[in-house]
Each structure stands twice: as structure tokens, then as C-alpha cells.
């Protein structure tokens, strides 16, 4: 297995990482969730994602034009599948930080990357085939000293 190379140079003593490759979720939803989670504490990120999965908290979609929204409503959706997969990654990165000896109360999400993954073809005949896309996600957390 090859070693992953990261473009971000960080201090290995105070950071922890987690990656998910070829996840069958929307890249657009992942990017919008990442905008919300970046800079937040891990416990706060877990409560946000739990709320999205249970359909109690919306993720604000700022790319939706205001003309498409009814008056007095919040622009947002519930990307349940993407939130569930990202929640697994956030819990994984928290466990990685704990095993490195970092204090889990002080860790903050430093970077969140969502990139296009591999494409899969589904179906048997040429007319019935469709392309299924995937997403690669990388989360880096850092211990914040106040």
C-alpha cells in the first residue's frame, strides 16, 4: 500500500488525519458540509452532523439563488447520506487524535477537502448503463492551545 502524500505541511505532533476514498456521496454536498464544519471543534461538528442525519438541522446551501426560495424560508437542505459518511470520518479522526495523545476537547477541524473520486458504470446493457460518481474526503484536525 502506498503512502498518502498531503499538500498541507503540518506538525505531526499536534495534528491527526482521516481520509475516505471512493465514498458514494455527492461532492457538492460534501463541499457545502465542509464549509460549515471548518474551524469548529470536533464535538460541535458531531452534533451538527447528528442533527442533519435526524432531519433537525439544515446545512445552508448558499449556491441556491434567492429567487428559487419561498419568502421567509431558510436556504438549506438535509444531505443525509453525505452527513452520515462524514460523521463516520469525524469520529475516526477524533479516535486518531486520541490515540496520538491529543486532548479531544481542544481539537479543531483545520482542513476539509472533498475531491472527485473514481467513476463507476452501473447496469448491464449499453442503453441501461449510467455513471455513478464517488468522492474522496480528507479531514485534518489540529490541537488548539488557548
Tell the residue number behind the cell numbers 496520538, with chain if given: 100
Q: 1: pLDDT confidence band, cut at 50, 70 and 90?
A: very low
Q: Which residue has the higher pLDDT, 114 or 71?
A: 114
Stretch among 13-22, 37-46, 116-125 having the lowest mean pLDDT: 116-125
Q: 129: pLDDT confidence band, cut at 50, 70 and 90?
A: confident
Instruction: Walk across the sheet containing 15-23 and list its strands.
Output: 15-23, 135-143, 107-116
Per-residue confidence (pLDDT) for residue 64, from 0 to 100: 59
Strands (E) across 35-106 are located at: 59-60, 76-77
Per-residue confidence (pLDDT) for residue 71, from 0 to 100: 58
Strands (E) across the chain are located at: 15-23, 59-60, 76-77, 107-116, 120-122, 130-132, 135-143
Say yes or no: domain 15-143 is CATH 3.90.470.10: yes
Residues 60-94 pLDDT 10s: 877 656 665 565 566 678 899 999 999 999 999 99
Q: Which residue has the higher pLDDT, 16 or 128?
A: 16
Predicted confidence (pLDDT) at residue 141 exceeds the cutoff of 80: yes
Q: Which residue has the higher pLDDT, 28 or 47?
A: 47
Amino acid at each position: 500500500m502506498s503512502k498518502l502524500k498531503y499538500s498541507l505541511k503540518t506538525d505531526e505532533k499536534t495534528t491527526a488525519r482521516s481520509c475516505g476514498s471512493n465514498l458514494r456521496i455527492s461532492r457538492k454536498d460534501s463541499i457545502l458540509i465542509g464549509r460549515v464544519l471548518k474551524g469548529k471543534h470536533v464535538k460541535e461538528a458531531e452534533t451538527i452532523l447528528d442533527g442533519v442525519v435526524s432531519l433537525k438541522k439544515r446545512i445552508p446551501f448558499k449556491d441556491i439563488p434567492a429567487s428559487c426560495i419561498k419568502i421567509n424560508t431558510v436556504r438549506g437542505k438535509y444531505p443525509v447520506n453525505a452527513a452520515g459518511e462524514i460523521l463516520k470520518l469525524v469520529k475516526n479522526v477524533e479516535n486518531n487524535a486520541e490515540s496520538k495523545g491529543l486532548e479531544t476537547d481542544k481539537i479543531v477541524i483545520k482542513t476539509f477537502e472533498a475531491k472527485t473520486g473514481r467513476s463507476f458504470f452501473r447496469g448491464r446493457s449499453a442503453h441501461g448503463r449510467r455513471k455513478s460518481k464517488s468522492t474522496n474526503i480528507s479531514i485534518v484536525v489540529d490541537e488548539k492551545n488557548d
